[in-house]
């Protein structure tokens, strides 16, 4: 029994008596161990299978326990529907499931359905399931160890199911050796649970690891969007909530909901991108490619947004039965799904065009320190406020006394140009009215409920960039014809993929056609790029089309050129601006989409709320 899998490997070297070997059906236990190789890869996959079972059973509260990273013990108990003794006995048999009531593999409405999880776990670990239905007078348990079943036997247990997995992989030592440190395995399980928890905000989850609470998520209430946002905040981090914009779009039975982080709230890797298809967490290249495409204009290529997207679609439009762990999915019409995601995200982001990340202003506030030793006690505070009330306002040099004059006193010290008596109502403008320019770099504006600080160069650069893009879109991209058309050798599939997208590429200024098998010939290039490395560009494009289904490299390159030109033709830091100039910049920012961040995902302005300022001074 031991090393059963290893034995099958050992028949590999040619044997003299090979002719005498006969074909036979493997014993069921061995079959289950082989299946377990696909389904049960590591403790996290056990947790996933068991939690999905609990969710399918309609649980509202799921408690998980893991000891030694799940190696010695995994317990998942729920308050779901439970099983009676007959179901319990069948549950541990292979290809036994309650989740395909009509024997229809197309219309799948549950998480599990392959009927592989429990017998697979039973084949590689000591499994004990205790369960009681709502109507059942008593609970039953069944045990499986090394593929042999004991029970069902009556046992005491409240309504719901408790699955206990001990000594995972004891029956397959080879796999046991490949387990990573307990900590790593636990982290994988936490990640898995996080994803499941996001998809099910109305279910409470707890995870107890080696006696310590690792995760505790209460069931959320309210409508789906509120509940989800609260749950996302609990899982991803509190910062996510103020920096997320809701996404809600639908097309032909597909519906995309969720939250997308604003571009200024970004990170170095793509780990905080959570995607769900019909409630099932997936990692799919198509979906990640669509996200990259949507954010491409706002983020440097090495920064990634936070987001959680939930795609609901008719079960017959998607094949979830591609991967045993169901991490990948396949869509009947991939182009439609990509279009929906890119469109919905772009729409959501342009609605939020003015929202610079709150983490930015929080960080700014955090950096501020009150002058002097400590904040005065509240009791003595009234004295200070009285004194402040009597203090002259900043721009009290009086009309007529020129600003330049008053600045002379500073004699080369950092300057602040103050705008005189401009009493426009700041309430009408989200970015307020310019009050001053500091260090000839930042515009300080007063808005209705606070203070806005604008980086003049970054803001103007973005405005010029947006204008340039609109111009390109409006006028089309000029194409330089090549005197020496360039032949690029690719593999056949890559060449075909590019040729299939020739029309889309032509719109971006790159005209290519097939050149025999496995090569394309480039005849025209965007004139904007000048003399460019066509070979490199086309190869990058081919890779991206296969990885993400999007031709990003070309757009990136064009955006790069626009970006550089925008940078050169926008006002620099260090340029002194007058009041009307500053106000004009602010007004244009309000009217330009995506003015809240520069081309690299950094903010162009930060807002500091009045309440925050008051807090800084200990008034609240």
Partner 1 sequence: MKLIIERSALLKSLGHVQSVVERRTTIPILSNVRLDAAQGTLSLNATDMDLEIVESALADVGEAGKTTAPAHTLYDIVRKLPDGAQVELAFGGGSQLTLTSGRSRFQLACLPVDDFPALAPGDYPHSFSFAAADLRSLIDRTRFAISTEETRYYLNGIYLHAADSEGVNVLRTVATDGHRLARVELPLPDGAAGMPGIIVPRKAVTEVRKLIDEAEGEISISLSESKIQFAIGDTVLTSKLIDGTFPDYERVIPTGNDKVMETDCKTLSQAVDRVSAISSEKSRSIKLNMEKGTVTLSASSPEHGSAVEEIGASYDASQLEIGFNARYLLDIMQQIEGDAARFTMADAASPTVIRDVSDGSAVYVLMPMRV
513 near partner 1, rule: CB under 8 A: no
520 near partner 1, rule: CB under 8 A: no
Determine the interface stretch with partner 1 among 49-57, 332-340, 475-483, 547-555 (rule: CB under 8 A): 475-483
C-alpha atoms less than 13 angstroms from C-alpha of 375 in its C-beta half-sphere: 14
SS3 string of 246-290?
Answer: EEEEEECCEEEEEEEECCCCEECCHHHEEEEECCEEECCHHHHHH
584 near partner 1, rule: CB under 8 A: no
Determine the interface stretch with partner 1 among 135-143, 230-238, 435-443, 468-476 (rule: CB under 8 A): 468-476
* Alpha-carbon torsion (46, 49, 52, 58), positive or negative: negative
Determine the interface stretch with partner 1 among 158-166, 205-213, 332-340, 527-535 (rule: CB under 8 A): 527-535
Nearest distance in Å: CB 483, partner 1: 4
Tell the residue number behind the tokens 């490619």, with chain if given.
289
Rounded Cα distance between 268 and 288, Å, is 15
CB 105 within 8 A of CB 320: no
Nearest distance in Å: CB 595, partner 1: 18
Q: What is the DSSP letter of 601?
A: S
Rounded Cα distance between 317 and 188, Å, is 30
Touching partner 1, residues 386-445 (CB under 8 A): none
103 near partner 1, rule: CB under 8 A: no
483 near partner 1, rule: CB under 8 A: yes
Nearest distance in Å: CB 298, partner 1: 23
Nearest distance in Å: CB 288, partner 1: 30
One residue of 138, 350, 388, 535 binding partner 1 per CB under 8 A: 535
Determine the interface stretch with partner 1 among 44-52, 241-249, 474-482, 607-615 (rule: CB under 8 A): 474-482
Query: Which lies closer to partner 1 via its Cβ, residue 99 or residue 479?
Result: 479
Helix ranges (H only) for 320-411 are 334-351, 358-367, 381-389, 403-408
Touching partner 1, residues 537-566 (CB under 8 A): 561, 565
Rounded Cα distance between 315 and 320, Å, is 9
Query: Which lies closer to partner 1 via its Cβ, residue 431 or residue 472?
Result: 472
489 near partner 1, rule: CB under 8 A: no
For residue 223, report the phi and psi dihedrals to the nearest 5 degrees: -75, 170
3-state secondary structure of 82: coil
Residues 310-349: x where in contact with partner 1 by CB under 8 A, - otherwise, as a string: ----------------------------------------
Chain centroid to CA 348: how far? 15
Determine the interface stretch with partner 1 among 85-93, 99-107, 211-219, 466-474 (rule: CB under 8 A): 466-474
Rounded Cα distance between 494 and 509, Å, is 20
User: Which residue in 192, 98, 83, 66 sits closest to 142, CA to CA?
Assistant: 83
Residues touching partner 1, count (CB under 8 A) = 23
Orientation angle between helical segments 43-56 and 182-199, nearest 10 degrees: 20
Nearest distance in Å: CB 475, partner 1: 6
Residues 210-249: x where in contact with partner 1 by CB under 8 A, - otherwise, as a string: ----------------------------------------
Orientation angle between helical segments 492-500 and 534-548, nearest 10 degrees: 90
Query: Which lies closer to partner 1 via its Cβ, residue 190 or residue 538?
Result: 538
Helix, strand, coil percentages, rounded to 5, for the chain: 40, 25, 35
Rounded Cα distance between 408 and 399, Å, is 17
3-state secondary structure of 448: coil
Torsion angle of alpha carbons 317, 320, 323, 324, nearest 10°?
Answer: -160
Nearest distance in Å: CB 530, partner 1: 7
Query: Which lies closer to partner 1 via its Cβ, residue 166 or residue 523?
Result: 523
Query: Which lies closer to partner 1 via its Cβ, residue 525 or residue 545?
Result: 525
One residue of 7, 481, 493, 610 binding partner 1 per CB under 8 A: 481
One residue of 26, 105, 527, 610 binding partner 1 per CB under 8 A: 527
251 near partner 1, rule: CB under 8 A: no
Nearest distance in Å: CB 201, partner 1: 48
Determine the interface stretch with partner 1 among 151-159, 270-278, 335-343, 478-486 (rule: CB under 8 A): 478-486
Rounded Cα distance between 298 and 599, Å, is 5
168 near partner 1, rule: CB under 8 A: no
533 near partner 1, rule: CB under 8 A: yes
480 near partner 1, rule: CB under 8 A: yes
One residue of 218, 239, 486, 560 binding partner 1 per CB under 8 A: 486
Rounded Cα distance between 49 and 155, Å, is 24
531 near partner 1, rule: CB under 8 A: yes
Rounded Cα distance between 431 and 417, Å, is 19
Nearest distance in Å: CB 526, partner 1: 8
One residue of 369, 378, 475, 620 binding partner 1 per CB under 8 A: 475
Torsion angle of alpha carbons 49, 54, 57, 59, nearest 10°?
Answer: -160
Rounded Cα distance between 290 and 418, Å, is 46
- Using omega within 30 degrees of 0 as the cis cutoff, is the peptide bond preceding 152 cis? yes
Rounded Cα distance between 522 and 529, Å, is 14
Determine the interface stretch with partner 1 among 17-25, 26-34, 293-301, 533-541 (rule: CB under 8 A): 533-541
Rounded Cα distance between 395 and 104, Å, is 76
Strands (E), 538-577: none
Query: Which lies closer to partner 1 via its Cβ, residue 538 or residue 589?
Result: 538
Query: Which lies closer to partner 1 via its Cβ, residue 60 or residue 480?
Result: 480
58 near partner 1, rule: CB under 8 A: no
One residue of 471, 493, 573, 584 binding partner 1 per CB under 8 A: 471
208 near partner 1, rule: CB under 8 A: no
- Strand (E) or helix (H) holding 194: helix 182-199
One residue of 335, 536, 574, 578 binding partner 1 per CB under 8 A: 536
For Cα atoms 58, 61, 64, give the angle at the middle one, nearest 5 degrees. 110
Query: Which lies closer to partner 1 via its Cβ, residue 405 or residue 533?
Result: 533
484 near partner 1, rule: CB under 8 A: yes
Instruction: Give CA separation, 404 vs 144, 329, 422, 576, in Å.
Output: 87, 66, 17, 12
| Binding residues vs partner 1 (CB under 8 A) | 467, 471, 474-475, 478-484, 486, 524, 527-528, 530-533, 535-536, 561, 565
């Amino acid at each position: 029994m031991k090393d059963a899998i290893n034995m099958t490997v050992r028949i590999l070297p040619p044997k003299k008596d090979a002719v005498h070997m006969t074909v036979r059906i493997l014993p069921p236990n061995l079959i289950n161990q082989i299946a377990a190789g696909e389904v049960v890869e590591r403790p996290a996959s056990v947790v996933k299978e068991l939690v999905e079972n609990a969710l399918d059973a309609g649980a509202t509260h799921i408690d998980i326990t893991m000891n030694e990273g799940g190696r010695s013990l995994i317990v998942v108990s729920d308050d779901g529907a439970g099983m009676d003794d007959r179901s319990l006995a069948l549950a541990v048999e292979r290809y036994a499931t309650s989740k395909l009531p009509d024997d229809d593999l197309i219309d799948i409405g549950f998480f599990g359905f392959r009927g592989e999880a429990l017998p697979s776990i039973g084949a590689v670990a000591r499994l004990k399931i205790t369960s009681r239905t709502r109507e059942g007078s008593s609970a039953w348990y069944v045990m499986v160890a090394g593929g042999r079943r004991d029970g069902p036997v009556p046992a005491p247990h409240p309504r719901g199911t408790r699955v206990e997995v001990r000594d995972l992989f004891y029956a397959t030592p080879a796999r046991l050796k490949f387990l990573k440190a307990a900590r790593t395995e636990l982290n994988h399980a936490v990640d898995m649970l996080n994803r499941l928890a996001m998809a099910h905000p109305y279910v409470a989850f707890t995870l107890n690891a080696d006696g310590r609470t690792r995760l505790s998520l209460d069931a959320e209430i309210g409508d789906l969007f509120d509940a989800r946002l609260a749950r996302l905040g609990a899982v991803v981090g509190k910062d996510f909530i103020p920096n997320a914009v809701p996404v809600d779009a639908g097309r032909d039975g597909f519906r995309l909901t969720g939250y997308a982080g604003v571009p200024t709230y970004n990170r170095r890797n793509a780990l905080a991108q959570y995607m769900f298809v019909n409630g099932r967490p997936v990692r799919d290249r198509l979906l990640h490619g669509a996200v990259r495409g949507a954010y491409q204009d706002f983020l440097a290529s090495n920064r990634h947004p936070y987001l959680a997207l939930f795609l609901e679609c008719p079960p017959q439009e998607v094949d979830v039965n591609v991967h045993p762990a169901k991490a990948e999915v396949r869509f009947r019409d991939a182009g439609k799904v990509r279009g929906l995601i890119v469109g919905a995200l772009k729409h959501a982001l342009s609605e939020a065009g003015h929202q610079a990340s709150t983490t930015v202003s929080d960080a700014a506030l955090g950096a501020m320190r009150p002058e002097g030793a400590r904040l005065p006690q509240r009791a003595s505070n009234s004295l200070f406020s009285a004194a402040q009330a009597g203090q002259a306002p900043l721009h009290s040099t009086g009309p007529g006394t020129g600003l330049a004059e008053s600045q002379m006193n500073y004699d080369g010290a950092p300057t602040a140009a103050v705008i005189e008596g401009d009493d426009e109502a700041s309430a009408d403008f989200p970015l307020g009215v310019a009050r001053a320019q500091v260090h000839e770099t930042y515009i300080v504006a007063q808005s209705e409920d606070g203070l806005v600080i604008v980086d003049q160069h970054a803001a103007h650069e973005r405005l010029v960039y947006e204008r340039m893009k609109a111009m390109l879109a409006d006028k089309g991209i000029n194409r330089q014809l090549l005197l020496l058309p360039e032949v690029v050798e690719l593999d056949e599939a890559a060449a075909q993929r590019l040729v299939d997208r020739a029309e889309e590429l032509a719109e971006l200024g790159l005209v290519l056609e097939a050149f025999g098998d496995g090569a394309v010939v480039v005849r025209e290039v965007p004139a904007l790029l000048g003399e460019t490395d066509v070979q490199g560009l086309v190869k990058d494009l081919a890779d991206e089309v296969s990885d993400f289904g999007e031709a990003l490299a070309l757009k990136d390159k064009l955006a790069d050129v626009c970006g550089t030109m925008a940078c050169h033709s926008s006002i620099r830091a260090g340029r002194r601006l007058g009041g009307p100039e500053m106000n004009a910049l602010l007004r244009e920012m309000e009217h330009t989409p995506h003015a809240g961040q520069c081309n690299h995902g950094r903010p162009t302005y930060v807002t500091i709320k009045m309440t925050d300022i008051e807090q800084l001074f200990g008034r609240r």
